[in-house]
A and B are shown apart, each in its own frame.
Chain A
Amino acid sequence: MLSDNGKRLPETDASGLNFEATELTLGLPGESRVTLDGGARLGSKRGFSETVDLSLGDNIDTNKLGRSQIDAQEAAKSPVSKAQVVGWPPVRGHAKRGKKSCKFVKVAVDGAPYLRKVDLQTYNSYQQLLTSLEDMFSCFTIRNYWNEKKMDQANGIEYVPTYEDKDGDWMLIGDVPWQMFVESCKRLRLMKSTEAVGLGAEAK
């Protein structure tokens, strides 16, 4: 079973469905995916022995990363919203090497005469993105199933946020972890609720 980016993920169950890959988690860069605790501690022993496929015997401390703190502030600041272990990898923070991180995608709204563009890297979560879109297209109300209060039927038209992914398919926003979404999203479309039939997101 291969994940989005073609990497083989070790956590698969018998049926080959890779649930854990889509679980909302924060983890070390790379293959290990560990559930985030309430505090900022990196995961549990169990998480590591699942993901780090070793046959080294009992004296390896698979919890060696247990006390390492995720710098939550750092994760919030950085445009890449993966949680990072502080100070790893050991590159100088000020060295601005590599790609300038930005990912601009077009945003289309059904019925609007022109499109907008947003840089997905400037957001760390779906909530931030949707809030920003609502500001941009302030006359529309975006259906957002995390916050039912935003649904304002008195205003009439309601929109469902969707996106086109790498495979060319139109998907409902919110199903996959944020970073996975950022990587696979090609463009956004705010679809009229009445047209969003069969996606399970219609007004009830």
Chain B
Amino acid sequence: MFWGSRKTINMNYFPDEVLEHVFDFIRSHKDRNSVSLVCKSWYKIEKYSRQKVFLGNCYSIGPERLIARFPGLKSLTLKGKPHFADFNLVPDDWGGFLYPWIKAMAKSRIGLEELKLKRMVVSDKSLELLSKSFPNFKSLVLVSCEGFTTDGLAAIASNCRFLKELDLQENEVEDHRGHWLSCFPESCTSLASLNFACLKGEINLASLERLVARSPNLKSLRLNRAVPFDTLQRLLIRAPQLVDLGTGSYVHDPSSEAYNKFKAAIQSCKSIRSLSGFLEVAPCCMSAIYPICENLTFLNLSYAAGLQSNELTKLIQHCKRLQRLWILDCIGDKGLGVVASTCNELQELRVFPSDPFDAGNAAVTEEGLVLVSEGCPKLNSLLYFCQQMTNAALITVAKNCTNFIRFRLCILNPIKPDPVTNQPLDEGFGAIVRSCKGLKRLSLSGLLTDQVFYYIGMYAKKLEMLSVAFAGESDKGMLYVLNGCKKLRKLEIRDCPFGDAALLEGMGKYETMRSLWMSTCEVTLGACKMLAKKMPNLNVEIINETEQTDSNLDDSQKVDKMYLYRTLVGHREDAPEFVWLL
């Protein structure tokens, strides 16, 4: 009913197609989820127009339900194993299998075009089925996956006629010495992105050259160790349009003809903004890339074990526009000082340990980090493996850089206090969370009491992911976090004295989160059982690698590893013997 001159426009009077067109502009998953909750008709329109779906936990819903919910699905992202699987804390065969998803989507004639997977088990069989079931398939991105061989890649290459992207990042791939690269047919000219840096085996170099030559849209190329310097040079000549380059082996005699040719070739690659690789590197050859350094925005030298600090700093001095830098700790504190004075646009820094198991030798300390914070005010993302850290340094860093979104600090000795004051690092991390109001991800290390968790609960209001190891003194620590961090989605804890009281009191919180991991804590089997009973929308899994069977354990026994996550589909059917679903 209309009142006089007041006109209200009711969106439901628009035909569906108009609404759909409007929804096209709504890209983020969160926003689209909100749109679908407005009313029944919006739900329906959104449902049929949704093309991209992100599942942070592949066990939160099953493939059939996903397909029923979003029949127009074209692009799917799936994550499998919990994050701590990266550090060997999750046994092989835990789960995260791709095959059921491919089978269901193939059966339902989903028009899948893009698939991005992280920590999933991908079999050759699933890759083959994938390659044959989706004629418009364009993009396959596999990150930290395993279970497949180069035969699976051969199937993708052979059958995906419109493939634009094949991006393999840090996967465990069994090399069957086949010629998977040669399986790309001559008619395949659509490649824009090819990354096979993680493959360990030989590559048919002639096929690679021909493939690159017939791919005019190729913007991103990352080679593996088996691609020699000569080939690299020839590839650059064929692909001067590259934006992202990952070298293979970068070893050559600087006085050779091939080296001169390379220097000429790289100069014509004026579009390169991102450089990585250097899986094998001879230090004296780095000067050849100086000409392209001034345009680089991303430089990844974290695999370049052969480069010393002075080589690294000489190189970095040319990289004035760098926004992201991944480097080994052999750059040292002084080298980080050079980064600080050169790279004023730096947003992301990752410093990896060159010798992870020898804490006495880590070459960077709190000094390097302080220098970077002083020179790079735009810094918002940090991963820093170091020998030691002080509260004073963290307080200074917090003052200099208030924009941190990700702050991950790993002191190699996990319970090391501030070496100057011998105090825990509570105050330092407290300063970080107080100052960086946008902080979404935090990893702690060093000696820490319950106090640090008090600060996190009090100040880290936007925190979504927290990783804790060897920290805290009592259940209070965990409770501060569960009660205070309203946006928390993922909490992973190892070797902390948090027990049943904290686990159970936080019960109501877990349905608002994606997952909780607790290993080598004080949680008992009885408490886990109780939690599982009271919260039917959670799967509570116990990973038990000892020989004990169910009947031998009593409820007061502490569990070694517990992983719980919210789910709409109850217990999974594919759990191995050593995983107990409570």
- A residues touching B (Cβ–Cβ < 8 Å)? 5, 7, 28-32, 52-56, 59-61, 64-65, 67-69, 71, 74, 78, 80, 82, 84-100
Say yes or no for B417: interface residue by CB 8 A criterion: yes
Q: Is B413 a contact partner of A93 (Cβ separation < 8 A)? A: no
Q: Nearest chain-B residue to A4 (Cβ)?
A: B360
* Shortest distance between the CB of A29 and any CB in chain B (Å): 4
Contact residues in B for A99 (Cβ distance below 8 Å): 305, 354-355
Inter-subunit contact B415/A100 (CB<8 Å): no
Q: Does B87 contact A (CB under 8 A)?
A: yes
With A29-B359, A92-B144 known as contacts, the answer to whether A54 contacts B417 (CB < 8 A) is yes
Contacts of A29 in B (CB 8 A): 357-360, 412-413
Place the interface of chain B in its size category: 35 or more
Asked if A93 and B355 sit within 8 Å, CB to CB, the answer is: no
B172, B328, B354, B470: most-surrounded residue (chain A CB, <10 A): B470
Our pick among A64, A69, A87 for the contact of B87 (Cβ within 8 Å) is A87
Are the C-beta atoms of A98 and B355 separated by less than 8 Å? yes
Known: A64-B415, A100-B305. A89 touches B385 (CB 8 A): yes
Q: Which of B121-163 contact A (CB under 8 A)?
A: 144
Fill in one digit per residue for B52-89: 1 if any A CB lies within 8 Å of its CB, else 0.
Answer: 00000000000000000000000000000000101111
What secondary structure prevails in chain A residues at the interface with B?
loop
Q: How far is the CB of A129 from chain B (nearest CB, A)?
A: 20
Chain A CB within 8 A of B414 CB: yes
Q: How far is the CA of A92 from the CA of B358 in the complex (A)?
A: 16
Chain B residue nearest to A101 (CB atoms) is B355
Shortest C-beta distance, B405 to chain A (Å), equals 19
Closest to A96 in B: B303
Determine whether the beta carbon of A91 is less than 8 Å from that of B497.
no
Q: Please, could you name 15 A-B residue pairs with CB atoms under 8 Å apart, sorted by A?
A: A28-B413, A29-B412, A30-B412, A30-B416, A32-B413, A61-B497, A74-B88, A82-B357, A89-B357, A89-B412, A92-B144, A94-B172, A95-B170, A97-B352, A98-B354
Q: Which residues of B contact A (CB under 8 A)?
A: 84, 86-89, 144, 170, 172, 302-303, 305, 328, 352-361, 385, 410, 412-417, 422-424, 443, 447, 449, 467, 469-470, 473-474, 494-497, 520, 558
CB neighbours of A71 from chain B (8 A): 88
B415 touches A98 (CB 8 A): no
Residues of A within 8 A of B385 (CB): 89, 91
**How far does the alpha carbon of A96 sit from the alpha carbon of B414 in the complex, in Å?**
22
CB distance from A40 to the nearest CB of B (A): 12
Going nearest first, the 9 A-B pairs with the smallest beta carbon separation are A30-B359, A30-B413, A87-B87, A98-B354, A29-B359, A87-B89, A90-B87, A92-B86, A91-B356
Whether the Cβ atoms of B417 and A91 lie closer than 8 Å is no
Give Cα A67–Cα B87 distance, bound, in whole angstroms: 18
Q: Are B496 and A64 in contact (CB under 8 A)?
A: yes
If the complex has contacts A30-B360, A67-B495, are A97 and B88 also in contact, measured as CB distance less than 8 A?
A: no
Interface centre among B356, B423, B467, by most A CB within 10 Å? B356
Known contacts A84-B357, A99-B305: does B470 contact A65 (CB below 8 Å)? Answer: yes
Q: Is the CB of A87 within 8 A of B84?
A: yes
Contact of A98 with B417 in the complex, beta carbons under 8 Å: no
B476: shortest Cβ distance to chain A, in Å?
A: 11
**A9, chain B: closest CB distance, angstroms:** 11
Question: Dominant SS at the B interface?
Answer: loop
Evaluate contact between B360 and A5: CB separation under 8 angstroms.
yes
Complex contacts, B170 vs chain A, CB 8 Å: 92, 94-95
In whole angstroms, what is the CA distance A30 to B386 when docked? 12
Give the distance in Å from the alpha carbon of A91 to the alpha carbon of B144 in the complex.
13
Residues of A within 8 A of B497 (CB): 61, 64
Contact A68 B520 (CB under 8 A): yes
State how many angstroms separate the Cβ of B82 from the closest Cβ of chain A: 12
Shortest CB–CB separation between residue A180 and chain B, in angstroms?
12
Is B328 in contact with A93, judged by CB distance below 8 angstroms? no
**Provided the pairs A84-B357, A86-B88 are in contact, do residues A59 and B473 lie with their beta carbons within 8 angstroms?**
yes
Does the CB pair B88–A64 fall under 8 Å? Answer: no
In the complex, what distance in Å separates the CA atom of A88 from the CA atom of B470? Answer: 11
Contact for A98 among B356, B470, B473, CB less than 8 A: B356
Provide the residues of chain B in CB contact with A91, threshold 8 Å.
87, 352-353, 356, 385
Expressed in whole angstroms, the Cα–Cα distance for A71 and B423 within the complex equals 30
- Contact for A68 among B302, B360, B495, CB less than 8 A: B495
B532 to chain A, nearest CB (A): 23
Tell me the smallest distance from the CB of B306 to a CB of chain A, in Å. Answer: 9
Chain B nearest CB, measured from A184 CB (Å): 14
Once the chains are docked, how many angstroms separate the CA of A41 from the CA of B415? 17
Q: Which residues of A contact B520 (CB under 8 A)?
A: 67-69
Find the A residue at minimum CB distance from B424. Answer: A56
CA A61 – CA B477 in complex, angstroms? 14
Residues of B within 8 A of A61 (CB): 473, 497
- CA A75 to CA B496, docked complex, whole Å: 23
Q: How far is the CB of A66 from chain B (nearest CB, A)?
A: 9
Inter-subunit contact B355/A31 (CB<8 Å): no
**Nearest CB on B from A47, distance (A):** 13
Q: Is the CB of B358 within 8 A of A97?
A: no
Bound-complex Cα distance A12 to B360 (A): 19
- B470, A64: Cβ atoms under 8 Å? yes
Enumerate chain B residues within 8 angstroms of A92, measured Cβ to Cβ: 86-87, 144, 170
A61, closest chain B residue (CB): B497
Which residue of chain B has its CB nearest to the CB of A59? B473
Residues in chain A near residue B360, CB distance under 8 A:
5, 7, 29-31
Query: A97 and B354: CB pair below 8 A?
Result: yes
Contacts A30-B412, A59-B473, A64-B496 hold; do A54 and B303 have CB atoms under 8 A apart?
A: no
* B494 touching A80, Cβ below 8 Å: no
Given A87-B89, A98-B305, check contact A31 B356 (CB 8 Å): no
**Contact A87 B88, beta carbon cutoff 8 Å:** yes
- The residues of B that contact A5 with a CB separation of less than 8 Å are 360-361
Q: How far is the CB of A188 from chain B (nearest CB, A)?
A: 23
In the assembly, what is the distance between CA of A143 and CA of B76, in Å? 65
Whole-angstrom distance between the alpha carbons of A86 and B86 in the complex? 11
Cross-chain contact A60 with B353 (CB below 8 angstroms): no
Residue ID in chain A nearest B447 by CB atoms: A54
A24 vs chain B, min Cβ distance (A): 18
Cα A164 to Cα B212 in complex, Å, equals: 53
Is the beta-carbon distance between A80 and B357 smaller than 8 angstroms? Answer: yes
Would A86 and B359 count as touching, CB distance under 8 A? no
- Minimum CB–CB distance for A64 against chain B, Å: 6
Q: A67-B495, A88-B469, A98-B305 are in contact. List 8 more A-B contacts (CB 8 A).
A: A5-B360, A60-B449, A71-B88, A90-B467, A92-B144, A98-B353, A98-B356, A99-B354
